[in-house]
Chain A
């Protein structure tokens, strides 16, 4: 089987939880991680007689997401009922937009310039959460239900099957995640379930006009899972075609541990959701002025920020891409620059020691352990020669741990560079006295050995000596 003989076509359905304080159709809290069944009411428990009332902020965030993803927002859209039975779905229908979605025709642009088209973006409510008591889904004798998530607002974003490799899928998801995070519409955290991805995968022979049979993949809980599952499916499906076998239209479950997909249910007996317009909810009517106001309130999106960093601040493209991984990082960086920090050194420290520390501690960018003010102050100390770059690394660790200003740390710990002539002179003299052979070599014109002597002075001063000054003083003392 030749690798290049087959073509992969993937469409992604992404659900993101909108960052509202209350639910889509009731005013229960949406807070993640609250004790089970504490954020529920007659509406989101589907009690008889309760009625839905839509959340204005969810609509605003939905529009914001749509605009950020280059979609066209429909001025008039509608909520339908999607009817199916499942214990985590309290009303036995999900309120969703089927016939007339909030927005259509958007795209995400990949680094290659290729655009992955977005077919539609619509609003809907989330279901509750069911857990299976006992070992796993196959041996548990009952399921446990938590309805805190029931009714949390979601935007569902459906792409066209334009994605043609696992890497493109990953890039699409990362770009979308960044964009939505910058737009402030969602946390977009896969690990907390505020971003969920389903794939529709098909494979066909290259050049074939007809799309392959779509297979739906579920249980993809990380970007890595998405790329692995897609790679697996590409192999599986192209092998089946190669063998002349039929690909079943089905839903498959990604088994993260075994690294395989397994058939969950046939799609032939596809569910009949009996969609119809929800009679409790009149049409969602928006006007141009509202959409313009959302557009005006749109925060800068990652590609705009990258452009600015490269073209105005003169950062390398690489730095700009790394810094725009998260809006909080961008905010931090921008503030540093605003406070007079030089862009490149700020970027270096952020991408270097700060990120390393945060990764080690597992911190997220909403809790950067130093303030922009303190980082800029530290850079100033380096620039003014108060501390060396090397000492600064230690000062930074102290700043992480104590939250103190760098100036205070330097003072308390006595870390200032030794620049005054008297103290330096004593150390330099002792180094000259201790290394007569090296001094002789230098005198004989072997310029390179000076570095060794400077190192010895630095060592003796525990790194606090000002290297430039040491250099000059050594020369003067040996040669005079």
Chain B
């Protein structure tokens, strides 16, 4: 079944991506506008399920990486990621049949649609994070053995840097350095793979999930929670559950190594009146405790919603006094294997916790 992504669907994907972004992933505003203008100019984009890919199809993911302050000032020309994709195609002597997001939270959920519109390619309804994470090795592609390279990073002048390495951690390190020389932000094409590899390693259905979440939040008049619950019930993720309701009483942040670390304390209201929740974050929300005991950790999704409007609140906008509802969503099986937990389990972010998947609702 062919699904078309037009301007309205981009709005919904951007909103849904803020739920899947678990507080991070960057402001989807710029990515959304880039995709909207490209779709207006070049036409809507086809969204294809991984099931529809042939084993030999050539899929080249695209993304933006770099400093948020730069990405909101030096906006892209729109050609950068296409340049990167072309460089990878030339290196491998193949022409891309589709592009794919590497993450489904924040700016990079919508950005590949601009590339797809320009190139006349479909976008694969899948990604490699199933949420937002801070670094390029936080990818199911990496976890399940796809090489991140050949990868290319390009800037608005048309400069391109090709990266070859057999170590995906080195890819992150080198690409990050190149983006600095490019003025703080670069546009990357990495983890080029076959249709067969997509089926084995990507988290399927995350773009349509983001779109459905966004649409549900947009049309939900009363209870955003019900809307989110209904959409997630039909997905490979667990049904969303309300972990806590309360008022933010303290927010602590510090910036280290380019990441924002900190925690937010929430005093319970109504049913949770006697309890306190703390959420620890590193760009994205990592773990939530109630009265000192973990109730949810990475890789499961912890998203803070405004209790009144139902709108997701990114970590940088958390502030004292906000009434919030904290949502937990269990991630799919592919994100919870021992190999995956080695890369993004609680221990890899320094949390003193053992991963316990969020249970199904009774």
A and B interact:
no
Residues on B facing A (Cβ under 8 Å): none
